Amino acid sequence: MNNYEPTHTAPIVSASQFNNQFSGNPTPNQFPQNRCCVRSAMVQPSIDISETSSDVIVSASVSNVEVEDLNLNVTDNSVTISGMAWTGREHIALNRTVALPTSVRAELIDANIQSGVLEIRCPKSERMIRQRNTINGDTVHTEQE
């Protein structure tokens, strides 16, 4: 026998409000929201990676992110971009790590933001700078040691 009786049994939402959620006829404010809290989400910024003969260039879309809210971590073989963006309604956490196609000198990176695009220029390691060779009309890449 159970000696405990529920003290409050009212539903959080009515059955009709719950059914309207899935019927395509939602009603305004059908699910109460805690207005004191800010919603947050996490996204991965889109990234493009390109190479020149001396650099690896990582370009990332970081619109709505202030420079002081952006973090970069560059190692000799990866780049991590993280930060917080404010869209006016919610905070969005950005976080993305990408592997680099070749070893770079992380201590010599150059980064700037222009029009919502972060560009990180990572100089290639001297031992990994590629030279082009042609064999039978085809271009092949070899690595210098």
pLDDT digits (tens, 9 = 90+) for 46-85: 899 999 989 999 999 888 788 888 999 999 999 999 988 8
Contacts of 48 (CB under 8 A, 6+ apart): 58, 59, 60
- Band of the pLDDT at 145, cuts 50, 70, 90? very low
Rounded distance, CA 72 to CA 119, Å? Answer: 11
Q: Is residue 119 domain-resident? A: yes
- Band of the pLDDT at 93, cuts 50, 70, 90? confident
pLDDT digits (tens, 9 = 90+) for 112-137: 999 989 999 999 987 765 444 445 55
User: pTM of the prediction?
Assistant: 0.60
pLDDT at 67: 84
Q: Which domain holds residue 75?
A: 40-143
Sequence letter at residue 38: V
The CATH number given to whatever domain includes residue 74 is: 2.60.40.790
Domains: count for the chain:
1
Q: Are 98 and 87 in contact (CB under 8 A)?
A: no
- Band of the pLDDT at 111, cuts 50, 70, 90? very high
- Band of the pLDDT at 6, cuts 50, 70, 90? low
Rounded distance, CA 88 to CA 73, Å? Answer: 27
Q: Is residue 35 domain-resident? A: no
Q: Is residue 18 domain-resident? A: no
Per-residue burial over 43-82, b if 16 or more Cβ lie within 10 Å, else e, is: eebebebeeeeebbebbbbbeebeeeebebebeeeebebb
